[in-house]
Structure 1
Amino acid sequence: MNTYPTLLSPLAIPHADGTQTLLRCRVLMGSMHTGLEEKPDGIARMAAFYAERARGGAALIVTGGLSPNAEGNMWAGMRTLASAADAAPHREITDAVHAHGALVAMQLLHAGRYAHHDQGVAPSARKSPLSAVTPREMSEADIQRTLDDYARAAVLAQGSGYDGVEVMGAEGYLINQFAAPRANQREDAWGGSAENRMRFAVEAVRRVRAATGPRFLLIYRLSMLDLVEGGCTWDEVVQLARAVQDAGASILNPYVGWHEARVPTIATLVPRAAFVALTARLKRELRVPVVASNRINDPALAESILARGDADLVSMARPLLADADFVNKASAGRADEINTCIACNQGCLDAALSGQLTGCMVNPRACRETELVIEPAAQRRRIAVVGAGPGGLAAATTAAERGHDVTLFDAAPRVGGQFNLAQRIPGKEEYAETLRHYATRLERAGVRQVLGARAEPATLAAGGFDHVILATGVRARTPELPGVDLPGVVGYAEVIEGRCEPGARVAIIGAGGIGFDVAELLTHEALGAADEGAHFAATWGIDFSVAARGGLVPPAPPQSPRHVWLLQRKDETPGKRLGKTTGWIRRALLGRRGVHQWAGVAYERIEAQGDALALHLRVRGEPRVLVVDTVVLCAGQDPDNALAPALEAAGVPVTAIGGARFAAELDATRAIDEGVRLAASL
C-alpha cells in the first residue's frame, strides 16, 4: 500500500505550446550553495552530490545559485554562468542527474546589495546590514545589460543539459531588492509604483522565456513574505506572482524572509510547515504549479500538504542533505529509517556562512560523497563501542552496516547520550528524530546493545574485541567555588531531566550552549500543540495576513515564569560563540523574556541566606550579590575517557571520538563525523 499517494504521484508541468514536462513525484530539491562550487574539483563533486539525491528519488533538483555576471557574485572570484567556458563543465552534473531519472535546474542568483566586494550593484545605493560595502546604483544601461545576462545564462544552462532554471527573486537578493521599497528608492521607470518595482522581475522572466523557448522549465523563486520593514504587501506579492506567471514562469516557488530579517524561518524552533497556509492562499491566485517550503521534513507532513491542495510540490533542501534516500525510503514503506533534518543549522548554514564547505550534522557524507565512502568491510571484526551518544551511535551503526560484529555499551538504560537532554529543550524537540533514526538502524544492523551497566576495562579486555571505540562523551565540570555543595546548587542534567524544580529566581553559571538551553527551558511558557503557530507568530511579530509591509507587527512574546540571570566569565557578548544562524535567535528570545545576560563575571562564593542562596560575584570588577532560589551549574565539561589507559595497558586497540577525545564544547557535528569516519576505516 502506498502510504503517500499524492507525494509519490507524478506531476505534469504544462507548457505554452501544449506539451508538458512530467515529474516523477512531487519532491523538488531546493537550492543550496554548498561551497563545492568554488572547489577546483567542484564540478565532479557536485555531480556526485546531486546524483546521489537523484538516485534517492527526488524529481527535480535545483542547484546552488550562480550569478549571470561577476557583479552579482556574493564574493569576488566566485564561479559565474556568463560564458560557454563557464557552462561546458556542467554537462557532467546534468548527465549524472539524468542517469538516475531526475530533472535538474540551475538557479540564477544575483546578490545585488548583498555582495561582499566593491563591484556590487543594486537598485539604489543602499548598503545592506549584511555587507560592509555600499553598492553602486544601477544605471539604465546596467539594468538592460543585467537582464540580457539573465537570458544568456539561461541559454548557457540549457546548452549544458539543464532542464530549466530557477530565477531567484526572493531572500533579499537583487530581484527582491527591486520589488521592495526597502531597497528600491528609484524615481524612474524601475522604482516608485508597484508596477515599476516589479518590472525588473517580470522582464527577467520574459527574456529568459523568449531566449529558451516554451519547453524549458522556468521556476520563479518568489518572496511571499519579506519579514523586513519596507517589504512588499500581500497585494503586491499577488500582483508580482501573476505577472511573472504571465511572463512565462512554469512553476512558482514561494519563500519567506530576507537574509537580513530578524525573524527565524528555518531553524528547529520554527514550527513545521509554519508558512504553508500562506502558500495555499497564494496558490488560489495562480494557475501554474506552486511549491510549499520551509520546515517540511517528514513524508506524512508533505503528503498532508499536497493532499489538501495547499501546494503542487514540496521543496526539501536540507532534508535531502540529511538523507539522500528520503523519497525512496518513503516509497518503500521505510519512513522510520529516514535520517530526518532537525534544522539545527550547524553543519549547513553555519558552515556556509563561516566560509566552510556545507555539510550536515546528522549526515557527514553530505557534500563529501567522493571522499567519505562507506563500503563493505574486507574482513569482519569484533568491535566494541562504549557510549551510545550521537558519536557512538554513528560509529556502531556504520561499522555494523559494513559487516562488522558490533556490541554497543552504555551505562544509561537507553541510547542517546546528550541528545536525551537536548530533546527536552523547547525548540529542540526534533533531536528525538535522530535517536529514532539510530534506534531503527541499530536493530536492522544487528548491533548488540548492553545498556544500564557501565563497561569495565576487564570485561572489554576479555571480550575478544579487535577494536574499542571510546564514545563516552563528557562529564560536567564542577567549579571550585565555596558553597557549591549547598542545597539549591544543582547540575544542568538535574534541571533538564526534571529531577529538581528550580525556584522563581535562578542564576545560571556558564553561558555556553548548555547555559542557553537551561535558560530557554526555565523561561519557556508551556503551550498546547494548537497554540504553537499563534505563539510563534506573536513571539516574532509575524502578520500572516501581510496587511503591513513585509508582514511585520510588534512582537508580543509571553513573559517568563522566572527571573533568570545567565552568567559567563568571558567579557564578550553572551552567546557570541553559538551558531551563526541560530545564536541571534536564542539571544533575542531570552532578551525578550527579561533574562539578564551578564559577561565578565568572576565568581567568589555561594552562601545560604535563609531559604535562598546568595551568589557573591564581580561583574567587570564591580561587586554584586545575587539572591536567588537556585544556582544551576553549566560551567563546562571534561572528557570522560578514563577507560582508555586501562585498555591500552591491556593491549586492546582503542580510539576516542567526540567529547571523549576533546570536550571544549559539546559538538555533535564533530562527534558524528568522527564516528562515521572511524567506522568507515576499520
Structure 2
Amino acid sequence: MTHPKYPHVFSPLTIGKQVVKNRIIMGSMHTGLEDGPEPAKRLAAYFVERVKGGVGMIITGGISPHPSGGYGAKLTGPEEVAMHREVTQAVHAADPEVKICMQILHSGSLAGVPEAVAPSPVKSRIGRYAPVELDEAGIEEQIDAFARCAALAQEAGYDGVEIIGSAGYLISTFLVEKTNLRTDRWGGSWENRMRFPLEVVRRTRAAVGPDFVVIFRISAMDMLEGGLAWDEVASLARALEAEGVDVISTHFCWHESFVPTIATMVPRAAFAQVTGRLRKEVSVPVITSNRINMPDVAEAVLARGDADLVSMARPMLADAELVKKAAEGREDEINTCIGCNQACLDHTFTGRETSCLVNARACRETELTLTATLAPKRIAVVGAGPAGLAYATLAAERGHHVTLFDAAEEIGGQFNLAKRIPGKEEFTETLRYFGRMIEKHGVDLRLSTRVSADDLLAGGYDEIIIATGIEPRTPKIPGIDHPKVVRYIDVIRGTASVGQRVAIMGAGGIGFDVAELVTHDGPSGALDIEVFAKEWGIDFKNHPRGGVTGVTPVVQSSGREVWLLQRKTSAVGKGLGRTTGWTHRLALQRRGVKMVAGVEYDRIDDAGLHIRIEGEPQVLAVDTIIVCAGQLPARALHDELVAKGASPLLIGGAFEASELDAKQAIKQATEFALVA
C-alpha cells in the first residue's frame, strides 16, 4: 500500500538480491564515534535511534581498509570484526528490514598521515603530506585490502558495503589526470585510469559473492577544474555496473573544490539533476544526495526520476525520526537540518566528535537520554532565543510545567536576524520546529512580556532559567554616537539606512553576515538553483570537465564599496567554520569587499572613520559605519534575582557571549534540560 503523500518515498526497492523497505538512506558520515570510547555501544545506540525513526538503509561512516588510509576507524583484520558485529546485530534486532552497509574509505592523499599513498606524489591543496607514489606491488596491496575489508564487513553482519570513489580520496585520484601522472597501465588513457576502481570492484565482488550489496560512490560532478568529463563519468558508471555493482551513489565534490555543495547557501536538491542524467546511463538503482533535508524534497526528486534512492545524512543528525514523522503526517514536527555544518562537518574535519547544532543529542544518545521526569516542576524560562527554546521545549517534553517569557513579539532571538541573511533562509525551519514543539508539549508562551525579578519571585517557580541572550557591545571610540554609525541589528532588520560606502567594524560571524547582506543584490542563490549555479560557475546544462571548467561566476553585487575591518592581526575570517568559512570569504572577495586586519580605531567624524594600520593613519571616507564589535551577556535580570536571594540558572548568550554561538547555546540548554 503506497503512502498518499509520499508514494515514491515509501515504495520498496530491490537492490541486487535484497529489498529496501523505503527510498530514504541515512548517508555516510564519519562521526568520531567509530574510533572513540565504547565505539560499539555508542554507534549502536546512534544507529538504532535512526532505525526506529523509519530509515530504510544506513551507510556507516568511512572505515579504512588499510593502515595508510587515514582515520582511526579501520577494518583490516579479524580482530576488528567483533565491534562491527555488535553494531549490525543491534540494527537488525531493532528492525530486520533495515539494511546497514559499511562505507570503505581510503583517504589517499587526504589521509593526514606520513604514510599517505596515491597514484602519483601530488600533494592536495588541503592535504598535510605529499603522498607516496604507489608502485605496482603497492597498488595490488591496496586493491586486495578493499576486497578483504568487504569480506570482513560481510563476516561482521553488514548487508553490503559502499566503496567511495570520489571527493579526492584514493580511488578518485586514480581517475583524474591532474592527480594521476602515471605512464604505466594504471595511468595515461581513460581506460588505464579507471582500471583501479574497476579492479577494486571486481575483486570485492569475488570476495563477497552475489548476494552482498556493493555500492560505488562516484563523483558525478567534481566541481573541480581538471576533473572528470561527462563521458568519463558515464562510461565509468556503465563499467562499474558490468563489474557487479548493485547501486551507483552520486557525489558532487572534491574536498578542495572552490564550489560549495553542502552549505546552507546551496539550494535544496541542487545537484539531483546530475544524478538524473546519470540514471539514464545505467540500469542499476542510483542514489542522489546533498541538501535534501525534508520529505517533500525527497519525494519530488524521486517523482522526477532523478534518482531511485535519496541519501539524507545530516538530516538524520538533526532528527532521527524524520522518516517516521513523514509517514505519520507530522512533517511540522521535523527538526530540519539547516546545512550550517557547525557541529557536524566542522567537527569531523577538526578531529572532534560530530553532533548537530539543532539537535545536541546527536551522537550522544547513550549519555543524553530523553526520559520523563518523576517529579514535575514549575519552571520559568526567560528568553525565547535558541537556548531558551531548547530548554523550554525539552523540559516540557519531559513533563515539567514550563512558562516561557520573551519581550519580543516572536520567538527566535538572534535566529530572527540570521534568517534575514541571504543564504541563511533555512534558519526559519528551526523556528518553525520550536514553535510546533511549544504547542505540542504545552509550553505556556508569553511573548511581548518583559518579566521582572519581582514577577518571577512572586510566581513561585521551582526553577528560573535565564536565557536573555546578549547585548551588542558598543566600543568606546570618540564619535561612536555620530549619525553615520548604526547597529548591526538595525541594518539586518532593515530599520537603518545604509549608504554606498560602508565600513563594518568587526569581522566575526556577524560582520560577515552583515557584509553579505549589504553587498548582495537580487534573488538569493539558496532559493534558486539557476542563480546559485551562475554565482559559483557551475554549468549543469553542458557539464564541462569537472562541471566548472571555463565557466565564469556571475557576481550579484549591490555595488557598494565595503570595508570589513577587525582589530586582530590574524587573517580576516579565520575564526569562521572550517567547511563554510571559505565560501563566505570567497563570495565577499568576488564582490570587492576589502578585508583588513590589524585595525586600530581612532575616531569617527564627518570625514568618516579614522583608523591606523601598522601605525599609519588612514581615513575611510564612508557614508555608513556598522558596528559589529562583539557582544556582552545580558545579565541584568539574573543579577537582580541573585541580589534578591534567588539562584537562577544562566544559559546561552547570557552565560557566554564572546561570539554568538547557537551550537553551544542549544548544547548547554539540552544538557541542563535533560537533568532538570
TM-score class normalised by the smaller sequence: over 0.9
What does residue range 437-456 of structure 1 map to in structure 2 within 5 Å?
437-456=433-452
Q: Which letter maps to 1:591?
A: Q
Counterparts in 2 of 1:529 and 1:264: CA distance versus 1, 3 Å? closer
Aligned to 1:120: 116
Aligned to 1:660: 654
Structure 2 residue 630 is matched with structure 1 residue 636: yes
Aligned to 1:144: 140
Contact 2:166 2:251 in 1 (8 A): yes
Counterparts in 2 of 1:280 and 1:243: CA distance versus 1, 3 Å? same
TM-score scaled by structure 2?
A: 0.97
Structure 2 residue 99 is matched with structure 1 residue 97: no
Among 36, 40, 45, the residue aligned to 1:39: 36
Q: Which structure 2 segments of 5+ residues have no match?
A: none
Cα distance, 1:535 vs structure 2:
2.0
Aligned to 2:667: 673
Counterparts in 2 of 1:252 and 1:344: CA distance versus 1, 3 Å? same
Aligned to 1:560: 558
Give the SS at the match of 1:354: coil
Work out the CA distance in 1 between the residues paired with 2:314 and 2:527: 26
Structure 2 residue 585 is matched with structure 1 residue 587: yes
Counterparts in 2 of 1:624 and 1:529: CA distance versus 1, 3 Å? closer
Contact 1:26 1:312 in 2 (8 A): yes
Structure 2 residue 246 is matched with structure 1 residue 245: no
Contact 2:423 2:524 in 1 (8 A): no
Comparing 344-353 and 65-74, the one that deviates more: 65-74
Work out the CA distance in 1 between the residues paired with 2:49 and 2:527: 39
Give the SS at the match of 1:91: helix
Comparing 79-88 and 391-400, the one that deviates more: 79-88
Work out the CA distance in 1 between the residues paired with 2:503 and 2:207: 64
Counterparts in 2 of 1:623 and 1:488: CA distance versus 1, 3 Å? same
Give the SS at the match of 1:99: helix
Cα distance, 1:655 vs structure 2:
0.6
Give the SS at the match of 2:94: coil
Aligned length: 670
Work out the CA distance in 2 between the residues paired with 1:594 and 1:649: 51
Cα distance, 1:443 vs structure 2:
0.4
What does residue range 205-216 of structure 1 map to in structure 2 within 5 Å?
205-216=201-212
Encode CA deviations 1:541-597: one digit per residue, 9 max, x unaligned.
Answer: 112245532121232323333111111111111111011111111010000000011
Contact 1:26 1:59 in 2 (8 A): yes
Q: Which letter maps to 1:618?
A: R
Among 571, 574, 592, the residue aligned to 2:572: 574
Cα distance, 1:394 vs structure 2:
0.1
Give the SS at the match of 1:63: strand
Contact 1:2 1:331 in 2 (8 A): no
Give the SS at the match of 2:502: strand
Structure 2 residue 378 is matched with structure 1 residue 382: yes
Among 604, 607, 621, the residue aligned to 1:606: 604
Aligned to 2:339: 343
Encode CA deviations 1:201-230: one digit per residue, 9 max, x unaligned.
Answer: 111111111111111111100001112222
Q: Which letter maps to 1:217?
A: V
Give the SS at the match of 1:564: strand
Give the SS at the match of 1:271: coil
Counterparts in 2 of 1:630 and 1:265: CA distance versus 1, 3 Å? same
What does residue range 154-169 of structure 1 map to in structure 2 within 5 Å?
154-169=150-165
Contact 1:560 1:594 in 2 (8 A): no
Among 177, 184, 188, the residue aligned to 2:180: 184
Work out the CA distance in 2 between the residues paired with 1:83 and 1:570: 49
Aligned to 2:12: 10
Encode CA deviations 1:439-492: one digit per residue, 9 max, x unaligned.
Answer: 000001000011112110000000010111111010001111111112231100
Q: Which letter maps to 1:604?
A: D
Structure 2 residue 644 is matched with structure 1 residue 650: yes
Contact 1:223 1:237 in 2 (8 A): yes
Encode CA deviations 1:300-331: one digit per residue, 9 max, x unaligned.
Answer: 11101111111101000000011000000000
Work out the CA distance in 1 between the residues paired with 2:413 and 2:524: 27
Contact 1:114 1:131 in 2 (8 A): yes
Q: Which letter maps to 1:649?
A: A
Aligned to 1:29: 26
Among 74, 78, 84, the residue aligned to 1:84: 78
Aligned to 1:618: 612
Contact 1:502 1:630 in 2 (8 A): yes
Work out the CA distance in 2 between the residues paired with 1:544 and 1:528: 18
Counterparts in 2 of 1:528 and 1:438: CA distance versus 1, 3 Å? closer
Cα distance, 1:95 vs structure 2:
1.0
Work out the CA distance in 2 between the residues paired with 1:354 and 1:680: 28
Give the SS at the match of 2:158: coil
Work out the CA distance in 1 between the residues paired with 2:487 and 2:73: 50
Work out the CA distance in 2 between the residues paired with 1:528 and 1:232: 29
Give the SS at the match of 2:575: coil
What does residue range 429-468 of structure 1 map to in structure 2 within 5 Å?
429-468=425-464
Q: Which letter maps to 1:306?
A: L
Aligned to 1:293: 289
Give the SS at the match of 1:676: helix
Structure 2 residue 538 is matched with structure 1 residue 536: no
RMSD, aligned α-carbons: 1.3
Structure 2 residue 67 is matched with structure 1 residue 70: yes
Q: Which letter maps to 1:557?
A: V
Counterparts in 2 of 1:529 and 1:580: CA distance versus 1, 3 Å? closer
Q: Which letter maps to 1:573?
A: A
Q: Identity over the aligned pairs, expressed in percent?
A: 54
Aligned to 2:419: 423
Cα distance, 1:2 vs structure 2:
2.9
Encode CA deviations 1:340-384: one digit per residue, 9 max, x unaligned.
Answer: 000000000111112111110000011100011111112010000
